[in-house]
Structure formats: structure tokens, C-alpha cells
Amino acid sequence: MGLNAKTSEIIAFAFLTLAALTVAGFVLFILYYIVSNGYSAISIEFLTEMPRKMMTEGGIYPAIVGTVYLIIGSMLVALPMGILAAIYLTEYAGENRTTWAIEMAINNLAGTPSVVFGLFGLAMFVKYLGFGPSLLSASLTLALLIIPVIIRSSEEALLAVPPEYRESSLALGISKWQTIRHVVLPASIPGIVTGSILSIGRVAGETAPILLTGAAYFLPRLPDSVYSQFMALPCHLFVLATAGTNIAQTRPLQYGTALVLLMIVLAVNFVAVLVRRYYRQKLKI
């Protein structure tokens, strides 16, 4: 021991503090950079107009609409599936091989790269089922991507409901499903909502899977059915920043698009924090 214990503690703690500050610094710098460069591009026209002149001018309206459709489409599939699976796993499943297989499948789905989901969506939805490159194919692909997220957060919310709730309800002669439906689920709704809100951010930001399953580079109109191709914010940003007709000239549009995307994600996180705080306070009573 070259250093005495007190000195080495001071040095070590300084480094640990520095590490945490560095991480916070990254976040602040990225946010500051995108916000300060992007805010001047944001205007009502930017948000509500079609892109013009091969995307070098105009707005991002169809990309916003496309992203909203993707969120709705994937949530419609993933939310019920995820919540029902979570109910089974927390309330019914015993410790056996089947449960183990399901848990393992969820873990692996959660860790599978999004571009692999994209390939799968292309092979299964676009080609095999014949949906073509479309809103439908992309929404289904994204739904598969977020199901593990929704299952995990719903499981956590269900497990947080005290067992006494279930026991008292069952003791009154109420059946298991009715107990879940009228006692457990209502008590865990805030937690489930928080998890689902966070997966909205994930859907809004995913790029690779929808590039492979139906996002269009440039499509200055809105999708008219679930079988249409569509524009989406993350793909739009990617195309403008790397493959646009004039990358330097469209920088303001790129910053603006990045900012809108970031705002969606931040808003989503903010709402999730609010819901969680509300829930915590309610539990304290």
C-alpha cells in the first residue's frame, strides 16, 4: 500500500464522481447541441408542410404522420399481447420447463438486434405473407421488437402489487381471473402505462427495421392504407444526413428533424416520470 487508506479513498471517490459527471455531461452536451442548432428550423410550416424540391425545402409533415401511425399500429398489437403474457407469467406460470422456455425467449427477443427484426419482417411480412413494403409490415415488425419491453415492465408492475390484495380478494370467494381483472390490474395500471409509454419512444426512434420493411425515402403524400409505404422521422433524418441531394444545404432541416425526434422521446420520458411519481405518492398513503 503506497498510499494511506484515506488518501486513496479521496482519489477513488474523485474518479467515481468524475465518471458520473462525465455521463451526465454527455447527455447535456448532446441535448444542448441538437436543441441549439435545431430550434431555429422548427416552425408551424416545418411541422405541417410536405417536403419539397427533393426534400431540400419544406416540412416534415408526412414523416411525423408516418411515425404516429407506426406508434399506433405497433402498440395495437404489442400492448395487449405484452400485458396478457405478463399476466400469465406473474399470476399463473409455475416453475417448470415451459415457463423457463418463455422467459428465455423473451430475454433473447429483447437482445436481438433491431436489424435482425428488420430482416425477419422483410422475409415474413413483406415477402411470405405478401403485405409488401408497407405500414402494416413495419408496424408488425416494430410490435415484435417492443413486446419484450412491454412484458418486462408489465411484469414488474404486476409483481409490485402486494400479495395481500390478491389474498383478500380470493378469501372473499372471488375467482382468480376476477381478482386479476378487478383488483390486480387496476392497481398495476400506472406501472404498465409507464412501461408502455417508454416503448413509444423506442418505436418512434427505430430506423433499421423500418428501412427494410416499408419506409420510403421520399414520398410527399400521406399513406392512404395500411398497405402503403410511408415516411418516418428517423428514416427521414438518416436519408437527409447521408444520402440527400444536398447534404450541406439541408443541414437546418436535419437539425430540425433530429430535434423533433428528440422532443418526442423526451416528452415520453417526462410523462413516464410523472406517472411514476404520481404512482409512488399514491402507494405511500
Query: Of residues 149-208, which lie at the interface with another protein (CB under 8 A)?
Result: 151, 175-177, 198, 201-202, 204-208
101 binds another protein (CB under 8 A): yes
Stretch that binds another protein, among 58-66, 85-93, 159-167, 188-196 (CB under 8 A): 85-93
Stretch that binds another protein, among 10-18, 44-52, 158-166, 184-192 (CB under 8 A): 10-18
Nearest approach in angstroms of CB 101 to another protein is 5
Stretch that binds another protein, among 52-60, 91-99, 163-171, 219-227 (CB under 8 A): 91-99
Nearest approach in angstroms of CB 147 to another protein is 7
72 binds another protein (CB under 8 A): no
Nearest approach in angstroms of CB 282 to another protein is 18
- Residues between 11 and 70 with contacts to another protein, criterion CB under 8 A: 12-13, 15-17, 19-20, 22-24, 26-27, 30-31, 33-34
Return d(Cα 102, Cα 109) in angstroms, integer. 10
Q: CB burial class (10 A; 0-12, 13-18, 19+) of residue 248?
A: exposed
Q: What is the DSSP string of 174-233?
A: --HHHHIIIIIHHHHHHHHHHHHHHHHHHHHH--HHHHHHTB-S---S---STTS-B--H
Q: Residue 120 is placed in which grid cell? A: 425477419
Return d(Cα 137, Cα 160) in angstroms, integer. 35
92 binds another protein (CB under 8 A): yes
Nearest approach in angstroms of CB 226 to another protein is 20
Using the minimum distance from each CB to another protein, give the nearer residue, 144 or 187.
144
Do 62 and 230 form a contact (C-beta atoms < 8 A)? Answer: yes
- Nearest to residue 207, comparing CAs of 242, 171, 253, 252? 242
Using the minimum distance from each CB to another protein, give the nearer residue, 43 or 107.
107
Do 56 and 250 form a contact (C-beta atoms < 8 A)? Answer: yes
77 binds another protein (CB under 8 A): no
Nearest approach in angstroms of CB 131 to another protein is 14
Return d(Cα 154, Cα 191) in angstroms, integer. 7
Return d(Cα 141, Cα 62) in angstroms, integer. 20
268 binds another protein (CB under 8 A): yes
Using the minimum distance from each CB to another protein, give the nearer residue, 65 or 251.
251
Nearest approach in angstroms of CB 172 to another protein is 14
Half-sphere exposure of 243 (CA within 13 A, CB side): 8
Do 255 and 38 form a contact (C-beta atoms < 8 A)? Answer: yes
Site size toward another protein, by CB under 8 A: 86
